[in-house]
């Protein structure tokens, strides 16, 4: 499997209200949607390209949400996986493919997430690096 490309259709950051209290619970959600064989994109018929719709969001309790919606394109070599993905209404995505998709989506949306969090005055959903000096 090989990552080929990514298209974002929606980038959204919204703050509904100011947070109340000290500790803020931050959750994330990732969902895969429609899977499609992209016949016009592939050059090698032994390594077809499939597109996977996705939704990824970072949710700050009930006061804010950052979300991304898009499509990721992956070249697949495994014959068994290709047959599974070519089925009508295919939903089965093996663990390795799902990991690849999630890793790429997180890498491609990471900087924009931090940018939106900064602009909306939200705490970062991941801890910023810190320096410690030894004695």
Residue ranges per domain, the chain?
A: 2-119
Residue 80 has pLDDT above 90, yes or no: no
More confident residue, 18 or 58: 58
For the chain, the average pLDDT equals 86
Task: Identify the pLDDT of residue 132.
Answer: 86
Per-residue pLDDT of 23-47, as tens digits, reads: 888 899 999 988 888 877 666 777 8
Phi, psi of 44 (to 5 degrees): -115, 115
* Letter string b/e over residues 10-22, b meaning 16 or more CB atoms within 10 A of that residue's CB: eeebebeeebeee
Instruction: Say if residues 33 and 105 touch (Cβ distance below 8 Å).
Output: no
Strand partners, 32: 54
d(CA 118, CA 49): 36
The pLDDT tens digits of the residues spanning 113-132 come to 999 999 998 888 877 778 88
């Amino acid at each position: 499997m090989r990552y080929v490309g990514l298209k974002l259709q929606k980038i959204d950051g919204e703050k509904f209200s100011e947070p109340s209290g000290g500790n803020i619970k931050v959750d994330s959600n990732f969902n895969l949607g429609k899977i499609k064989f992209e016949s016009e994109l592939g050059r090698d018929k032994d390594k077809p390209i499939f597109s996977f719709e996705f939704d990824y969001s970072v949710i700050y309790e009930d006061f804010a949400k950052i979300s991304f919606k898009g499509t990721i394109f992956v070249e697949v070599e495994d014959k068994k996986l290709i047959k599974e993905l070519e089925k009508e209404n295919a939903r089965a995505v093996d663990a390795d493919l799902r990991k690849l998709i999630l890793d790429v989506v997180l890498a491609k949306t990471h900087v924009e997430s931090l940018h939106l969090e900064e602009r909306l005055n939200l705490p970062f959903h991941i801890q910023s690096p810190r320096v410690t000096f030894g004695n």
